[in-house]
Structure 1
Amino acid sequence: MAHPEPSAPTRQVTSPGRPTLFVAIGRQRVGKTTTLKAIAEITRQQGGNPEIWNTDSLNRSHSISSLGDGVLEPPSNTAAGQAIWLEERIENMVTEGHDAILDIGGGWTAMHELIKTSPLITALDEIGVSLVALFMIGVEHADIDYLQDLQEEKAFLPPRTAIVINEGLIPTGHETRLAVKEVIRHPTVRRAIGRGAVYATFPAINGLKKIADRGQTFLDFAANVPVTGMPTSSVFDRLRVNRWLKRDVPLFLRDLGPDYLPRMPKGLPDVVMENV
Structure 2
Amino acid sequence: MARPATATDTVPQTEIPSAPPKLIVPLGRGSRGKSWWARWAVERAQSQGREVVVADADRTNPTLSSYFDDVVTPPSADDRDVREWLATFIEAQIEQRFTGVLDLGGGDLILKRIAREMSLVDFLGQHGIQPVAVHLLGPDADDLAYLRDVETDNLFAPEATILIFNEALVPLHRTPRAAFTETVQAHPILAKTLDRGAKLVWMPRLEPAQDIDTRRLTFAAAEASQVKDGQTPIGPWKRQQIATWRRAMETAFAPVADWLP
Q: TM-score, normalised by structure 2?
A: 0.86
Tell me the residue number matched to 1:196: 197
**Letter of the structure 1 residue corresponding to residue 150 of structure 2:** L
CA distance in 1, matches of 2:96, 2:173: 48
1:229, distance to aligned residue in structure 2 (A): 2.8
**Letter of the structure 2 residue corresponding to residue 118 of structure 1:** M
**Letter of the structure 2 residue corresponding to residue 42 of structure 1:** R
CA distance in 2, matches of 1:157, 1:17: 20
CA distance in 2, matches of 1:48, 1:244: 22
CA distance in 1, matches of 2:40, 2:102: 13
Farther off after superposition, 109-118 or 205-214: 109-118
Query: What is the DSSP-based 3-state SS (H/G/I as helix, E as strand, rest coil) of the residue aligned with 1:225?
Result: coil
Tell me the residue number matched to 1:66: 66
CA distance in 1, matches of 2:65, 2:239: 21
Query: What is the DSSP-based 3-state SS (H/G/I as helix, E as strand, rest coil) of the residue aligned with 2:186?
Result: coil
Tell me the residue number matched to 1:4: none
**Letter of the structure 2 residue corresponding to residue 254 of structure 1:** A
**Letter of the structure 2 residue corresponding to residue 237 of structure 1:** K
Q: TM-score, normalised by structure 1?
A: 0.82
CA distance in 2, matches of 1:226, 1:168: 24
Partner residue of 1:42 out of 39, 44, 47: 44
**Letter of the structure 1 residue corresponding to residue 221 of structure 2:** D
Structure 2: stretches of 5+ with no match in the other structure: 1-16
List structure 1 segments (4+ residues) > 6 angstroms apart after TM superposition: none
Tell me the residue number matched to 1:227: 228
For residues 104-153 of structure 1, give each alpha carbon's deviation from its aligned partner in whole angstroms, at most 9, with x where no partner exists.
12132442332243211111112211100011111100111101112126
1:50, distance to aligned residue in structure 2 (A): 1.0
**Letter of the structure 1 residue corresponding to residue 34 of structure 2:** K
RMSD after superposition: 1.9
Matches within 5 A, 1:120-199: 120-152=120-152, 155-182=155-182, 183-199=184-200
CA distance in 2, matches of 1:156, 1:52: 20
Tell me the residue number matched to 1:3: none
The one of the two structures with greater contact order (alpha-carbon pairs below 8 A, sep at least 6) is 1
Contact in 1 for aligned 2:112/2:155 (Cα 8 Å): no
Aligned length: 244
Tell me the residue number matched to 2:7: none
1:232, distance to aligned residue in structure 2 (A): 2.2
Report sequence identity in percent: 27
1:154, distance to aligned residue in structure 2 (A): 6.5
Structure 1: stretches of 5+ with no match in the other structure: 1-14, 263-276
